[in-house]
Chains A and B, each alone.
Chain A
Amino acid sequence: MSTTDEKDLVARCREGNDDAWRELVDRFGQKVYAIAYHFTLKREDAEELSQEIFLKLFENLHRYDGGFPLVAWILSVSRNLCIDRYRRRKREKSFRFVSDDAVTALLKSDDDPASMALKKERTQMLFSALAEVPEDLAEILILRDLNGLAYDEIGKALELPEGTVKSRLFRARAEVARKIRERHESKGAPGALASLAIAAAGLV
């Protein structure tokens, strides 16, 4: 969908066209919910945040000029909401603990319970490590690796040059990867059985 079409869609939404609003919700609702979920890691919070994002989006439709992709604009409008929720979650004592339920929603169902358990453990480790990196690095990693946004979309949403986005992304990945490795090593070298299990799960 070109930015012209997106601008037209937004214009129709401003005019109170219900079909246009439905199209906008169906086009971006899932993506916004996913971003909200990755920042909150709680279904209820993500739903509340998604609704808050769309309320703010509706209140600010007149600000969209079609200058860049609508998803980047949605993100720019809702960025502060996401960061606020992320900080709020960070202040919680259980921030670094990610529940099984939280990661289950992110994993494809697997018939093999052992493999599923291993995936859950690795995913919990990923989010725990992510919680330890600075916010400015974490948000780029969430937007790029977990939500698949393009560099230019992230750059426009966060008002950063593309080079800075890439640089921060690299450092975020390196930080998270290093923390995962350190945790892994702190638990002791994986035994032969665990290595086999990981290899079988195709995680590494």
Chain B
Amino acid sequence: MSCRELERLFVAGSADSEQLAHRNTCAECSRLGADLDRGASLAAQLQPPAWSPQLRQALLRVPSMTVSCEAAEMLLASALEGEIAKADASRLQGHLSRCGGCAQAAGALYAMRDLAAPEPPAWLATRLVAAKPQKKKSFWRSAFSGKMVLAYAYSAAVLVMLLGLNPTAVVRKAGFASLGESTRNAVTVAESSVGDRLGAFQEKAARTLAVWRGHVGGYSRAAVSNAIAIVWKPETKKAPSRPRLGKEGGAAANSGDFQVAGRPIREPLPPRFRV
């Protein structure tokens, strides 16, 4: 067969009339066409074979006979735990009998149970101990590390300083001696530092206080003396009352001496009232 025109026309989907027209002009394709017609007529007389009711029933039972590979994985896990229903076990078994991959997986998983634990070599324990990873510090361990304790000590010292307490006494009362060495060192450093600062502060405060005391002392002595002089009156000698201005003559007022309770202010106070 050298003429491929009939095949070309068929593959191109040309109409039957066009194919027939070519067959009428080409002897080779005419003979091929006759053969094709004969085969087609043979096939056309056939009918599809009827399926039996038993086959239909068997096909309807298929879902109870197997599962998908995905479902088999889940059922296999359940089966390994011994928690699989009888019907599911049957479906799983049906799938494993047909699926090589799942059967291999199931075999491997079941075989794991029979594996014996291997004896470790003698050097393994030593190496494992040496290679032991450093544990992550716990919260409390990190909260009381050297740096943090130093920070706490500084904070406490500043607080003590602001409150005006004696740092040495505070440290002693707080029982810091029972802490660890690092803590004691940190407290010592903080204590000395705070002591220095507090000493300077006290010195400055003392100076300021002395100045204030000087000022206040003079004023206060005068004020107290005046107050005592005003409040205290000697009982021994009644002083003449102060003449009213304008009514009883203005002799005293006009005398030019300011008197407190009938006594001139320049008069010295008794010794026991001296400030």
Contacts and interface: CB of A to CB of B under 8 A. Distances in A.
B55 A107 contact: no
A112 interface: no
B104 interface: no
Interface in B30-86: 32, 35-43, 45-52, 54-56, 58-60, 62-63, 65-70
Contacts of B43: 126, 145-146
B172 interface: no
A62 interface: yes
Contact of A61 (B11, B54, B56, B68): B68
Interface string A42-58: 01001100110011111
Given A55-B98, A62-B68, A203 B45 contact: yes
A29 B62 contact: no
Contact of A107 (B39, B46, B52, B65): B46
A114 interface: no
A59 B47 contact: no
Contact of B39 (A18, A54, A176): A176
Nearest to B94: A55
A122 B59 contact: no
Interface residues of B, number: 41
B10 interface: yes
A197 to B, nearest CB: 14
B108 interface: no
Contact of B52 (A47, A59, A173, A174): A47
B257 interface: no
Given A22-B60, A203-B42, A108 B47 contact: yes
Given A147-B48, A174-B35, A51 B59 contact: yes
A50 B55 contact: yes
A86 interface: no
Nearest to A182: B35
A153 to B, nearest CB: 16
Interface residues of A, number: 53
A123 B47 contact: no
A103 B42 CA distance: 12
Nearest to B7: A170
B68 A177 contact: no
Contact of B63 (A31, A58, A163): A58
Contact of B66 (A55, A125, A145): A55
B123 to A, nearest CB: 50
Contacts of B40: 145, 173
Contacts of A105: 49-50
B55 A51 contact: yes
Contacts of A88: none
B72 to A, nearest CB: 8
Interface of B: 1, 7, 10-11, 13, 32, 35-43, 45-52, 54-56, 58-60, 62-63, 65-70, 94-95, 98-99
Given A170-B7, A174-B1, A177-B35, 18 more contacts: A21-B63, A34-B51, A37-B48, A47-B52, A47-B58, A50-B59, A59-B67, A59-B99, A106-B49, A107-B45, A108-B47, A122-B45, A123-B42, A174-B7, A180-B35, A180-B39, A203-B42, A204-B37
19 contacts: A33-B55, A50-B51, A51-B58, A55-B65, A55-B94, A57-B62, A59-B67, A61-B68, A62-B70, A106-B49, A108-B47, A123-B45, A123-B46, A167-B7, A170-B10, A174-B35, A178-B32, A180-B38, A204-B37
